[in-house]
A and B are shown apart, each in its own frame.
Chain A
């Protein structure tokens, strides 16, 4: 019984950055990976919104888990908040990757498309981060 591929969520302060990053991921891996993005604050300005992140997690949900790529501080804090608001059985299946958002999303999705588990998906993306 396969759980499917790990899903990827892209959370940027800018909807344009998030959408553009998702476009790059789609071009690299096609439709083999559940993918969702969100960007912008609750009024549509630059920023992040817990509500949008919750929606993106639902959209990209996979039994194999979801890897979240974030840009700046608030995106990470809001993503952590969104994870804690998930049902308990989901929480351990969601991870925030400490990686550059564009390169990290592409690498993570490439790993995910090959069926790698969540820890490998995140681990490979995180190799891009400066030590």
Chain B
């Protein structure tokens, strides 16, 4: 899986493009309950990654993930920069060059824990963790259940709509945060779904 530069390049390109294509939607979600910059910020990060894609794809999988994380930290701004940056950097630190399914699950768990620590948060507070937590459970149950994972993360993002925000700018709104999907949950779902679909289409 992802053992050649071409397949890593395809995956990076697909994920970055998906984020860019949904920038307006993410911004609209963030305008409802945050400061309205999530789409713009994530797009800036994705564009920074695309600008360096040849170099990133040439790196080994762990080194490439670390470099992507660092690019997001430096370029995204907002809280999502360090949060997504931490996620990808931890994946890179945790994965071996040729990961078995169990390695992927372990790395995902490490990255999930690192995002919790970085955000001083836990699932149930209307954040990206409300997508990452069920995604991890799904992977732990069956690391190859790509279709199930796509369904799970879409449902999990939807499930943030009735939640009360307890973290970030949305928490300032109190009960008015109820009734809107969390933008970070949506972007996490988009990224995970695109990874599954791209790897699935490549027969990996």
The CA-CA distance from A46 to B168 in the complex, in Å, is 16
Given contacts A42-B75, A77-B118, A50 and B82 within 8 Å (CB-CB): yes
Q: Are A77 and B79 in contact (CB under 8 A)?
A: yes
Work out how many contacts link A and B, with CB atoms closer than 8 A. Answer: 57
Q: What total of chain B residues lie within 8 Å of the partner, measured CB to CB?
A: 23
Q: Are A46 and B119 in contact (CB under 8 A)?
A: no
Q: Are A45 and B75 in contact (CB under 8 A)?
A: no
Q: Are A47 and B73 in contact (CB under 8 A)?
A: no
A48 contacts chain B at the CB level, 8 A cutoff: yes
B148 contacts chain A at the CB level, 8 A cutoff: no
B80 proximity list for chain A (CB < 8 A): 74
Q: What total of chain A residues lie within 8 Å of the partner, measured CB to CB?
A: 17
Within 8 A of A (CB), among B46-96: 73-83, 85-86
The CA-CA distance from A51 to B44 in the complex, in Å, is 15
A80 contacts chain B at the CB level, 8 A cutoff: yes
Q: Are A47 and B82 in contact (CB under 8 A)?
A: no
A73 contacts chain B at the CB level, 8 A cutoff: yes
The CA-CA distance from A72 to B168 in the complex, in Å, is 8
What 0/1 pattern do residues 167 to 182 of B give for CB contact below 8 A with A? 1110000000000000
B35 contacts chain A at the CB level, 8 A cutoff: yes
Query: Smallest distance from the beta carbon of B194 to chain A beta carbons, Å?
Result: 24
A89 contacts chain B at the CB level, 8 A cutoff: no
A24 proximity list for chain B (CB < 8 A): none
B27 contacts chain A at the CB level, 8 A cutoff: no
Within 8 A of B (CB), among A15-47: 41-43, 45-47
Q: Are A51 and B74 in contact (CB under 8 A)?
A: yes
Q: Are A47 and B78 in contact (CB under 8 A)?
A: yes
Q: Are B73 and A81 in contact (CB under 8 A)?
A: yes
**CB-contact partner of B81 in A43, A45, A78, under 8 A:** A78
Given contacts A47-B77, A49-B77, A78 and B37 within 8 Å (CB-CB): no
Q: Are A45 and B168 in contact (CB under 8 A)?
A: no
What 0/1 pattern do residues 78 to 91 of A give for CB contact below 8 A with B? 10110000000000
Within 8 A of B (CB), among A39-68: 41-43, 45-51
**CB-contact partner of B77 in A72, A73, A74, A80, under 8 A:** A74
The CA-CA distance from A77 to B129 in the complex, in Å, is 16
The CA-CA distance from A89 to B135 in the complex, in Å, is 37
Q: Are B77 and A77 in contact (CB under 8 A)?
A: no
Q: A42-B77, A46-B37, A78-B79 are in contact. List 13 more A-B contacts (CB 8 A).
A: A41-B41, A42-B75, A42-B76, A45-B37, A49-B77, A50-B74, A73-B169, A74-B78, A74-B80, A77-B83, A78-B77, A78-B81, A81-B118
- 23 of the cross-chain contacts (CB-CB < 8 Å) are A41-B41, A42-B76, A43-B44, A43-B77, A45-B37, A45-B77, A47-B77, A47-B78, A48-B77, A48-B78, A50-B73, A50-B74, A50-B82, A51-B74, A73-B79, A73-B169, A74-B78, A74-B79, A77-B82, A77-B83, A78-B77, A78-B79, A81-B118
Q: Which residues of B contact A (CB under 8 A)?
A: 35, 37, 40-41, 44, 73-83, 85-86, 118-119, 167-169
Q: Which residues of A contact B (CB under 8 A)?
A: 41-43, 45-51, 72-74, 77-78, 80-81
